[in-house]
Amino acid sequence: MTASPPSTADLHPGYPYREQTDHDDDIPNRRYVCPYIAAKVDPITGEPRVLGRADKEAPTYDEGPLHATEVSDNDDMEEEVGEYPFGENAYLDPNFLEAMGTIADRGLASEGLRLVQLDGEKRFLRQWETRLKRRERAIHVKRTDYIRSKEKMDRKQTDVYHRLRGAKAASRLAPLLPDRNGQPGMSFPSPTRPYNKPDERTRRTGACHWCGRNRLDMHQGRDCEDPHTRCRMQAPGRCVVPDHHGNYYSHIDAELCPYNGNNNGIMARSEHA
């Protein structure tokens, strides 16, 4: 008995796949694994890719990105070209499409597709910028209203304080307020004064900025064991020791800082720490 002839079933996976040949010079110069290849767009990223299949029953294999291949030609005009107008308008031009069909270069078509996608992305970014500018204008208006309202509130508070100061409110009320555990029932904080940095002459004397002592023990400002001395000397109504000072947290001892480390939200930042 003679052997059965081999199967003649068609293995070609169909459009858009093409069988690889030695004349596939319009795709990147590399050896692909599968005998059938196709140029398709990734459905998730939109990136043009080279896809391969062994036959119509085999799964799809990603062979890598699709790019235009380099061409060695001394007679060109590329040095005179600033940009390539292969965007959305070009792909609506029949002459451009006819020329692209004549060249029949899948890699060149993939780069044009990328420029079409970039046109859409630029349009989206312009719309994004417009929305941001609209929000920035609205925020600027609200910020202006906030500043005006805050200044108006500060002026009203200053006027009230001025009238209370003229009426000697603290002097008249403090002696009459009941004590709480031996302490006054209401405290009247001292006014906040500006934080004065020492001048160059003071710095040259060698005295510690925080405790005022001469640096006989050669300690640096960040090593001062009693930095809250300046809080007592300056009496600014708040703690003036920065939180990054080495001994800032010594204010846990109430006797060290008259303000118990409270900076009223105004933290001093200086080279002395």
In sign, the C-alpha dihedral spanning 16, 20, 25, 30 is: positive
| Cα(61)–Cα(167) distance, integer angstroms | 89
Percent of the chain whose pLDDT exceeds 70: 82
Percent of the chain whose pLDDT exceeds 90: 26
Buried b / exposed e across 42-61, counting CB within 10 Å, b at 16+? eeeeeebbbbbbeeeeeeee
pLDDT at 216 over 60: no
Q: Are 52 and 63 in contact (CB under 8 A)?
A: yes
**Per-residue pLDDT reduced to its tens digit, 34-52:** 889 888 898 888 899 999 9
Question: 22 versus 272: which is more confidently predicted?
Answer: 22
Average pLDDT over residues 11-31: 83
Average pLDDT over residues 144-155: 93
Highest mean pLDDT among 26-30, 110-114, 190-194: 110-114
Q: Are 227 and 211 in contact (CB under 8 A)?
A: yes
| Cα(19)–Cα(1) distance, integer angstroms | 36
Question: 199 versus 54: which is more confidently predicted?
Answer: 54
Query: Which of 67, 42, 119, 47 has the alpha carbon at shortest distance from 88?
Result: 119
pLDDT at 138 over 90: yes
Neighbours of 241 (CB within 10 A): 27
- 């108006």: which residue's tokens? 152
pLDDT at 184: 61
Q: Are 50 and 27 in contact (CB under 8 A)?
A: yes
Which residues, in sequence order, are CB contacts of 159 under 8 Å at separation 6+? Answer: none
> Lowest mean pLDDT: which of 49-58, 92-101, 231-240?
231-240
DSSP secondary structure code for residue 150 in this structure: H
**Per-residue pLDDT reduced to its tens digit, 60-86:** 888 889 898 888 776 778 788 888 889
Ramachandran angles phi, psi of 38, nearest 5°? -150, 150
Query: Which of 209, 213, 210, 190 has the alpha carbon at shortest distance from 259?
Result: 190
Q: Residue ranges of the domains in the chain?
A: 197-273
| Cα(49)–Cα(40) distance, integer angstroms | 6
